[in-house]
Amino acid sequence: MTFPDPLTYDYPEWVVIGDYAFYGRDVVSFGDPLTVENVREAYRKGIFPWYMKGIPLPWHCPEKRAILEFDELHIPRSLQRARNTNEFGFTIDKAFDRVIEECARTPRKHEKGTWITTEFLRVYTELHIEGMAHSAEAWAGDELVGGIYGVDAGGVFCGESMFYKRPNASKLALLHLIDHLRSRGSTWLDVQVMTPHIEALGAKEIERKEFLKKLHETQSRGLELF
């Protein structure tokens, strides 16, 4: 095993790397390689990698974890109106490669590029081939206009990134994904870090201990999400 148990790990407040000190309360490891094996183990333990330029790869299990309980899902009226127009068609796992590539092209605010490096593209595509990473797509005819991808952590979908080329396309792809997950017995998904868009849909933050308990309990159900 590469990673410690994030429930019992003694998180340092600060980690010194070179000439810099980094807040360590959300990170269980710096610098472990991004491999299919490590990613597989990490997600099963509630850990995820998040690239930061100039820092050995951090593997996160945040003190505050964002999740979306499906029975607390809130669909704003404007989004419901967009959903009712049936403007888009939706699929699951039809274009994973294209979804993750489009997400990689979408820059984060105030930063150049994204955290989805070439190495991330390769490893998560391998995970998709193995049946662990999945995507939902929004289409306007034959044009891919939005999507989301993430990882199945043993019966819990962990959302990684979204993109859109038309208004609401990524949000509607997420709603399609939630409908799919519900049909397989799922009741919630891990959104990792809170954003305004996901908070507007009813996401909330819970403590790390509560998240890990919820993750392990759900894993014990043996759900087949895809």
Q: Burial level of 174, CB count in 10 A (0-12/13-18/19+)?
A: buried
Query: Across residues 193-217, what is the average pLDDT?
Result: 96
Domain borders along the chain are 14-62, 66-219
66-219 carries CATH number 3.40.630.30: no
- Rounded mean pLDDT, 179-186: 98
Check residue 114 and give its pLDDT. 64
Q: Which two tokens stand for residue 94?
A: 């039809």
183 with 223: CB under 8 angstroms? no
- Cα dihedral across residues 215, 219, 223, 226: positive or negative: positive
Instruction: Tell me the C-alpha distance between 134 and 99, whole Å.
Output: 10
Q: In angstroms, what CA-CA distances link 75 with 107, 127, 171?
A: 26, 31, 10
pLDDT for 58? 95
Question: In this prediction, what percent of the chain has a pLDDT beyond 90?
Answer: 89
Please give the CATH number for the structural domain made up of 14-62.
3.30.70
Please say if the pLDDT value at position 189 is more than 70: yes
Reduced to 3 states, what is the DSSP secondary structure of residue 198?
Answer: helix
Rounded CA separation 118/71 (Å): 37
Q: Strand runs (DSSP E) across the chain, as ranges? A: 14-17, 20-23, 27-30, 48-49, 58-60, 64-69, 89-92, 133-140, 143-152, 157-164, 188-192, 204-207
Strand order in the sheet with 89-92: 89-92, 133-140, 143-152, 157-164, 188-192, 64-69, 204-207
State pLDDT tens for residues 75-110.
999 999 999 999 999 999 999 999 999 999 987 554
Given pLDDT bands bounded at 50, 70 and 90, which one contains residue 112?
very low
Residue 135 in tokens: 């995507």
pLDDT tens sequence across 33-88: 999 999 999 999 999 999 988 889 999 999 999 999 999 999 999 999 999 999 99
pLDDT digits (tens, 9 = 90+) for 120-161: 999 999 999 999 999 999 999 999 999 999 999 999 999 999
Report the chain's mean pLDDT, rounded to a whole number: 94
